[in-house]
Amino acid sequence: MKKFGFGCMRLPLLDKKDQTSFDVETFNSMVDTFLARGFGYFDTAYPYHGYKAEAAVRESIVKRHDRKSFKLATKMPMRDFNSLEDKERIFNEQLENCGVEFFDYYLLNNIGITSYKKACDFDSFGFCLGKKQEGRILNFGISFHDTPELLEEILTAHLELDFVQLQINYADW
């Protein structure tokens, strides 16, 4: 797999004031071009586009392309759960939203000092490892948004992580 991903956080819209008015034709064209050029990693998250981005991914990617032709990543939203039951419900909704049986990559989203504490308090690392053991997650990681010191602390404490996605915007460089 080429080392460049397609982020589904800012999808093309028909109406800029309505974050769920997807320009499906343009999105389909973008997806098709991305795949045709040999890329295959798509990244989305539960809260993107008013909680509708995962369904857009299902329609433009999952329903239109062979599951073996792409890798799909999504994220557990740290702000949207307050119990194990919430995590289970959200995870199952994500599978349904995306129209898949498993996620190639699954991340605890937006990990910083506060969300890391919440992840630990609610055993989110253990929850995701359980899903990995069930075959619902192939690779488990975090999207990280904080200091190098905190990242080092997390990586030392959580050897079970397969990867880290850093919040770096190439355009900012």
pLDDT tens sequence across 130-153: 999 999 999 999 999 899 999 999
Query: What's the CA gap between 59 and 10, in Å, rounded?
Result: 16
The Cβ of residue 162 has, within 10 Å, a number of other Cβ atoms equal to 14
Phi/psi for 3 (5° steps) reads: -95, 55
Quick one: pLDDT band at residue 4, thresholds 50, 70, 90? confident
Q: What is the DSSP letter of 135?
A: T
Specify the CATH number of the domain 5-172.
3.20.20.100
pLDDT at 72 over 70: yes
Give the burial class of 1: count Cβ atoms within 10 A of its Cβ; 0-12 exposed, 13-18 middle, 19 or more buried. Answer: exposed
Beta strands in the chain (DSSP E): 5-7, 41-43, 71-76, 103-111, 137-144, 163-166
Quick one: pLDDT band at residue 170, thresholds 50, 70, 90? low
Quick one: pLDDT band at residue 173, thresholds 50, 70, 90? low
The Cβ of residue 92 has, within 10 Å, a number of other Cβ atoms equal to 11
* Predicted local confidence at residue 1, as pLDDT: 64
Query: What's the CA gap between 127 and 132, in Å, rounded?
Result: 9
pTM of the model: 0.93
pLDDT at 39 over 80: yes
Quick one: pLDDT band at residue 3, thresholds 50, 70, 90? confident
pLDDT at 167 over 80: no
* Predicted local confidence at residue 113, as pLDDT: 95
In sequence order, which ranges of 37-147 are alpha helices (DSSP H)? Answer: 48-51, 53-57, 84-98, 113-121, 124-133
List the single range of 20-29, 147-156, 163-172 with lowest mean pLDDT: 163-172
pLDDT > 70 in the chain, percent: 96
Would you say how long the chain is, in residues? 173
Name the helix (H) or strand (E) containing 27: helix 24-36
Identify any residues that bridge with 43 across adjacent strands, giving them in sequence order: 7, 73
